[in-house]
Amino acid sequence: MNSRLSCVAWATGLLNPHQCGSLAGLSASDAVTTLTHAVKTLPMAGRKVSILFLDIKGGFDNVNPSTLCAMLRSKGVNPYLVSWAKSFLSGRTCRLLYQGSPKVFTPVSVGTPQGSPVSPLLFVVYISRLQCEIPQGLSLSYVDNFSLTVSSASYRHNIQILHKLYARLKARGAKLGIGFSVPKTELIHWHTNRERDPISNALVHLDGSAFLPKVEVRWLGYWFTPSVSTTPHFVKRLAKAQAAFLAVKRLSPPRDRPPSFPLPQTGLLPPLPHPQLWRRRLLTHRPHDEKALCILAKSPEMDNQLLHEHPHRHPGHRGLPPTSRASSCVQMSLGLP
């Protein structure tokens, strides 16, 4: 049903070409690439570029089934699909779960159910009317994240354009029962390295709140800077990767001593094969490794056989680790192919 609705939405014009997310073939990387391309091409005509990042407040919880079905009918969608969408969004109940909460369900008249692959698609269709054409600019969205890109001869003029665009979006959202989370709003003025003018500090006022331009903005997991440089993004991603590597490395004990606790090793090492396979590999590839033989001899399945076949190498029980740690010690010590 999700694939069928997606094809119908594209064919009937329910979706805007500048929408990404929850749609096949349009991911976050596509939205970031499109925005980066616009930011790099608009200044070529000597224009100043500014972007306002907005976030819809409680988007999925504000979808009105009646309004959505009216949108589907207006585009000529097959009546059975309209009836299916209405049935999918209607007649639902919910209740809060906490200690001592009453087991009473409350009817829910708005919103899309979480966990269904159809819910994001219906939400994207529902907010498609928020998109607007921007001369010498770009209106781009990824699910509930919006970006308004404007360009003009000065940053002050960009602020005036952004004020008008926000008022227009706010009016359209009010008709759909949707609002924007003003505290999550971010502003950035693009400034290429070829521009000699200082970076503008022109701020934008939205609903009584003032927002200064930032030197770094994280949108859809990507870090943007006024200079349109990719270095800050990859520096931050590399730092996270190194931190994750060090965290995993701390769980792994040094090779010269057995682990002090076996639990992390269980998640880091593959399952231990059958003891007979370990014995065969050990005697073939490492016949003189006394330490490995000591660890392997502790296995109950092999104790008698190893003593019978190699009595001069059997160490008894001198200084062996506990049986619960034998598997980890074998894997850390042998390194067999």
pLDDT, tens digit, 9 for 90 and up, residues 291-315: 555 655 555 544 455 445 544 444 4
The radius of gyration of the chain from alpha carbons, rounded to an integer in Å, stands at: 31
Entry field: residues in the chain: 337
Structure tokens at 55: 């976030």
pLDDT band at 166 (very low <50, low <70, confident <90, very high): very high
Dihedral angle sign, alpha carbons of residues 152, 155, 156, 162: positive
Task: State the Cα–Cα distance between residues 176 and 130, nearest whole angstrom.
Answer: 9
Which stretch, 92-101, 126-135, 259-268, 283-292, has highest mean pLDDT? Answer: 126-135
pLDDT band at 329; cut points 50, 70, 90: very low
How do strand 217-219 and strand 222-224 relate by DSSP bridges?
A: antiparallel
Dump strand ranges (E) for 119-178.
138-142, 145-152
Q: In this predicted structure, which of 52-56, 196-200, 247-251, 312-316 has the lowest mean pLDDT?
A: 312-316
List of E strands, 215-275: 217-219, 222-224
Band of residue 268 on the pLDDT scale cut at 50, 70, 90: very low
Q: Whole-number mean pLDDT of the chain?
A: 80
What is the rounded average pLDDT of the residues 169-185? 92
* Residue 324 pLDDT: 40
Task: Inform me whether the pLDDT recorded for 279 exceeds 70.
Answer: no
Round to whole Å and give the CA distance between 277 and 273.
7
In the predicted structure, residue 330 carries a pLDDT above the cut 60: no
Note the pLDDT of residue 289: 61
Element containing residue 263 per DSSP (H, E): helix 263-268
Residues 6+ apart with CB under 8 A from 173: 56, 130, 179, 180
More confidently predicted of 323 and 3: 3
pTM of the entire structure? 0.71
The answer, yes or no, to whether residue 278 has pLDDT greater than 50, is yes
pLDDT for 218: 92
d(CA 34, CA 27): 11
Q: What is the pLDDT of residues 64-88, one digit of tens each?
A: 999 999 999 999 999 999 999 999 9
pLDDT in tens, 193-208: 777 777 788 999 998 8
pLDDT band with cut points at 50, 70 and 90 for residue 51: very high
